[in-house]
Structure 1
Amino acid sequence: MSSLPRSIATLSVAALAASVVGHAAIAQQPKTLRVAMHADVRTLDPVWTTQTIASIHGNMVYDQLFNLDSSLTPQPQLVETWTVSDDKKTYVFTLREGTKFHDGTPIRSADAIASFRRWAARRNAGKLMLDFTDSITALDDRRFEWKLNAPYGLVIDTLAQVGSPYVMREKEAKTDPFQQITEVVGSGPFVFKRDEWVPGSKTVYAKFADYVPRKEPASGHAGGKVVKVDRVEFIWMPDPQTAQSALINGEIDYLESPQLDFLPMLEATPGVKLVTHPAQGTMGLIQLNHLHPPFNAIKARQAMYHIVNMPDYLDTVAADRKLQKVCYSYFGCDVPMETDAGSEVYKAPKDLKKAEQLFKEAGYKGEPITILHATDHQYINPATQVLIQQLRRASFLKLDVQAMDWGAVVARRAKKEPPAQGGWNIFITGTTVLGSSNPATNTWIGMGCEKANVGWPCNAEFEEVRKSWGLAQTADERKKIAVDLSRRIYEQVPFVPFAQWLNPVAYRADRISGVIPVPSVPPMWNIERK
């Protein structure tokens, strides 16, 4: 039997060694999920702002006490067990054992309490719950007691809502809620990689190796948050067409908010799948500044109902009629608290002469109305263009349109100075129908004056009625109060809703699996590469 020549044998051994090394290198490459979200991560504090992208970031790096499952039922997350007294005024919560922050320190009751208090200072649902709270006391490192002054029935619902209290270390949680935190040490399944963060380009998260997921299967935002990739990269693509092309060409794996005009193209692309959740939906908002003229006067705010024509927005941001809904409910449509009570003025034919009369009665004398126009946002940009067109038809209004990116809008909308000193009069934003679906969780209807959300509506009587909704014992009682609140909202006009629409998520089903459909704030756990 002849043997191979020595040179060939040597080459064969070398080739085999190179093959082994090559396979080992491939095996060592991190499994990376590349995602395009609807906006760039510019703010690292999900409490300081109501930005959805900040909530998505918060969802990656922080855990919560409770979360909603796929049926929107509250389930414990960091909480292991809890008890409620017979009079429904005392709750005792016990945290799961072995949970850690990203610096390795244990998650304690003191962290959970401080995190709730900071969150509650910026969210209507939290403020409402604090009104019914006598005390929150740490009994030990894993147990804390919550004493109420009345049998408030929304304790668990409040703690479980999307964007509910993100559990931070007590150190960060004691930061003034109106100031942004500067250090991100999370409690959730992903670690924020600050050294790889490039605002305007890329945000990177790595799997937290010491995260302890629950044992239940993943469901909605609840259950076991099992991370099945090594890294997640949020790639910022301000141009929607570029993002769509990137998904079609396989350059990204997941597209959170595809432009609705391109859905037929995505549906026809082999390997691409579109998914929605039954409760998914976005509500568009025209936010008015109640601190400065002209919208500090109620008649100027009411005049907007005679100018804004809702179908124009829908045909622009969601041209597919299957995805759009003309909805005059401030709590959203297709939800238990849906009501259009008080909407007659908004539904009526547009009347620019009536609008002009109301503006004059409000004291308007042709001062510039400053509109913040986010030109890089998938639906806010075209919606703002529609608003500008509608306001220009009201020729008596003088507009000061200031174009900027969405991050700049978010920073500027927090300013209370007059428009001429860097403030604003109007900007467009959006919120989830789920988050707006009842008076307690709807952040934007709050009229708590200085403590209200940006825009700062102010009406103490409304706030008292809103509190009563949380104490109502039956669904019929709550609905009756919701109808009353709707009439009051239409009178006070904290903002003007302009549309409700569905926006599916698109992903490469030929490359990844385990995508969890949710109404908003998409989770990145449970997803794995094929």
Structure 2
Amino acid sequence: MIYDTLFALNEQGEVAPQMIDRYKLSNANKTYTFTLRDGLLWHDGQPVTAEDCVASIRRWAAKDALGKKLMAITESMRALDDRTFEIRLTQPTGQLLFALAKPSSYAPFMMPKRVAETDPLKQITDYTGSGPFVFKADEWKPGVKAVYVKFDKYKPRDEPASGLAGGKTVNVDRVEWLSMPDPQSQVNALLSGEIDYLEMPLVDLLPLLRADKNVVLTEYNPLGIMLTFRFNHTTKPFDDPKIRQAAWYALNQKDFMAAAVGDPQQYKICKSMYACGTPFETSVGMEGKLASDFETSRRLLKGAGYDGAPVVLIQYSGLGSNIGPVAKSLLERGGFKVDMQVSDIASWVGRQKNRAPAEAGGWSAYMTGPTGIDTINPLVADMMDASCDTAQPGWPCDLELERLRQSFMDAQDPEAQKAVADAAQKRAVEISTHIPIGQFHVPIATRNTVAGVLHAPAPVFWNLTKR
């Protein structure tokens, strides 16, 4: 809504310039020179500069899995003038432009230099962007409402909008995001015309929406969401790799998908850490796993000397209310003791970063749902980052997996990349970074007065019209 990116993915998943006007490669494809579009402004009216972009890339790369790998092969990054900056690599890679276009987890959003220089591990408090909407902080009611208004000085690209790329033309003056925790209340509000747009209706209620001629359902994101079970490698019981392996045999994807989604048309059973339907999808390393083989799970726990330390499973309300009980039941049938704790999402996010022992306010496992686009290869997939203390919460630590992820960065042709991706998944299964427990997609629902919905990895509100 409020930020823009240097590049973006179009509807076909191709990288396209966004804030960038032009770029060139030199020095045996190791030096990139980027020139910004003319007329880019921050919401405070100041021009976007190359120095802002360099600072923003550094902030993003400090946390993003792919960004960290790119920084490891970056010799220098500097502004050449107000609109031009250079990234000089130590070796060529085909990942840089995609990295600058990735849409989430974490997206390389551009910020003013003063904001981007905030400690990457601290929350920013200045929400100045250069995107098509301005955040109305004075109207923000956390957990209730967020308001965005059209940025009248935003200069869209000339091309038609496509996915997250092209011209971000805003046709409405104001967008209000309303939080409605109850799914039935959400649907009732849409049916009555109280709201215009519902991001993720409960699948059980889709028949009500399909039956109303004033409602349109749009499958906007074909890769959907990859539901994931995440281990904490630093605390009991999952600090033991043999115990982590037992969980692979206790769980299965079908039970999770039946609980989370229900309708088989809306989900896929696919034993792959990479999004199903993408080039690197593979079942390598999954043999015998995710089949609720409780006997094998119990045998592995016995062999590991499992002492009954409870799996502290933290979940947030909404997602947790559906799939948490499934995980608890399957793990317990596989011989684990499980303590499931459900909270609101804000509390869950805070606790997720807590590295205390599970019994002292920390956690053993959680489930979440990254978008499919965030799991398409071993570099993009944050869950496969095994860089120890700098990895995502769960903190897996494995030099071999990191070597393979670096090899993917170095691979220059699709066949070599495929071989590395297979090897990376096999190793990620061996050390159990996480378990994929199904892929699903849910349409958005809009009133028929709304048009211009774009097919993209995330809901966007430019290009929309309302009559």
Q: String of CA shifts for 1:383-402, please: whole Å, max 9, x gaps.
A: 112112212324x4332222
1:293/1:364 contact within 8 Å kept: no
The answer (yes or no) to whether the contact 1:204–1:231 under 8 Å persists in 2 is: yes
Could you tell me whether the CA contact under 8 Å between 1:343 and 1:490 is conserved in 2? Answer: yes
Query: CA offsets, 1:117-157, max 9 Å, x none?
Result: 11111111111111221110110111001100011111111
Among candidates 153, 156, 161, match of residue 102 of structure 2: 161
CA contact (8 A) 2:324 2:340 kept: no
Which residue of the other structure, out of 341, 346, 361, is the alignment partner of 2:284? Answer: 341
Rounded to whole Å, the distance in 2 between the matches of 1:109 and 1:86 is 21
- The partner residue of 2:272 within 326, 329, 344 is 329
How many Å separate the matches in 2 of 1:400 and 1:179? 30
Instruction: Kindly state the Cα deviation for residue 350 of structure 1 after the two structures are TM-superposed.
Output: 2.7
| Structure 1 residues 508-523: aligned runs within 5 Å | 508-509=447-448, 511-518=449-456, 520-523=457-460
Corresponding residue number in structure 2 for 1:128: 69
SS in 2 for 1:391: helix
> Partner letter of residue 416 of structure 2?
E
**8 A contact 1:83–1:91 mirrored in 2:** yes
Question: Does the residue aligned with 2:264 lie in a helix, a strand or coil?
Answer: coil
1:22-73, CA deviations, whole angstroms, 9 ceiling, x for partnerless residues?
xxxxxxxxxxxxxxxxxxxxxxxxxxxxxxxxxxxxxx11111011111111
- Counterparts of 1:101 and 1:315 in 2: how far apart (Å)? 45
Deviation of 1:355 after TM superposition, in Å, equals 2.1
Residue 484 of structure 1 pairs with residue 426 of structure 2: no
Of 306, 311, 323, the residue aligned with 1:369 is 311
| Alignment-derived partner of residue 429 in structure 1 | 368
> 1:274: how far off?
1.0
Q: Which amino acid aligns with 2:377?
A: N
Partner of 2:183: 240
Aligned pairs for 1:64-143 within 5 A:
64-85=5-26, 87-143=28-84
2:11·2:164 contact (CA, 8 Å) conserved in 1? yes
**Match for residue 339 of structure 2 among 384, 387, 400:** 400
Q: TM-score, normalised by structure 1?
A: 0.85
**Hey, what's the Cα distance between the residues in 2 that align with 1:271 and 1:198?**
30
* Alignment partner of 1:292 is 2:229: no
Per mean C-alpha deviation after superposition, the further-off stretch among 366-375 and 483-492 is 366-375
* Structure 2 counterpart of 1:499, from 414, 438, 441: 438
1:405-455 Cα distance to aligned partner (Å, 9 max, x none): 112111110111212332111111001112101112111111111111111
In 1, distance between residues paired with 2:311 and 2:264?
33
Provide the C-alpha distance between the structure 1 equivalents of 2:389 and 2:430, rounded to a whole number of angstroms. Answer: 20
Alignment-mate amino acid for residue 406 of structure 1: I
Equivalences, count: 465
Aligned-partner Cα distance in 1 for 2:178–2:114: 31
Instruction: Name the structure 1 match of 2:223.
Output: 280
Separation in 2, partners of 1:74, 1:351 = 42
Is residue 274–residue 375 contact of structure 2 (8 Å, CA) maintained in 1? yes
CA distance in 1, matches of 2:223, 2:263: 16
1:296 Cα deviation (Å)? 1.3
- Given that 1:294 and 1:362 are in contact with CA atoms closer than 8 Å, whether structure 2 keeps it comes out as no
Deviations 1:324-374 (A, max 9, x none): 110101012110011110101315x43334323433444532223211121
CA shift at 1:91, angstroms?
0.3
Quote the Cα distance in structure 2 between the aligned partners of 1:156 and 1:189.
22
Q: Percent identical across equivalent pairs? A: 40
What amino acid maps onto 1:368 in structure 2?
Answer: P
Distance change >3 Å, CA 345–CA 176, structure 1 → 2: farther
Note if contact 2:354-2:361 (Cα within 8 Å) is conserved in structure 1: yes
Question: How much does 1:223 deviate?
Answer: 0.8
The answer for the alignment partner of 1:384 in structure 2 is 324
Name the counterpart of 1:226.
169
Which residue in the other structure is 1:261 paired with?
204
CA distance in 2 between partners of 1:278 and 1:62 (Å): 21
Are the equivalent residues in 2 in contact too, given 1:306–1:355 (CA < 8 A)?
Answer: yes
Aligned residue number for residue 39 of structure 1? none
Larger Rg: 1
* AA of the residue aligned to 1:374: Y
Contact 1:244–1:258, Cα closer than 8 Å, also in 2: yes
1:181-211 deviation per Cα after TM superposition (whole angstroms, max 9, x unaligned): 1221111111111111111211111111111
Whole-Å separation in 1 of the counterparts to 2:305 and 2:397: 19
The one-letter code of the counterpart of 2:324 is T
8 Å CA contact 1:286–1:495 kept in 2: the answer is yes
Contact 1:279–1:434 (Cα < 8 Å) also in 2? no
> Where in structure 2 are there 5+ consecutive unaligned residues?
none
Contact kept, 8 Å, 2:229 with 2:435, in 1: the verdict is yes
Question: Take 1:491 and 1:135, find their aligned partners in 2: how far apart are those partners?
Answer: 36
Q: Which residue of 395, 416, 441 corresponds with 2:380?
A: 441
Give, in whole Å, the separation in 2 of the partners of 1:523 and 1:328.
30
Does 1:460 find its partner at 2:399? yes
Structure 1 residue 231, shift from structure 2 partner: 0.8
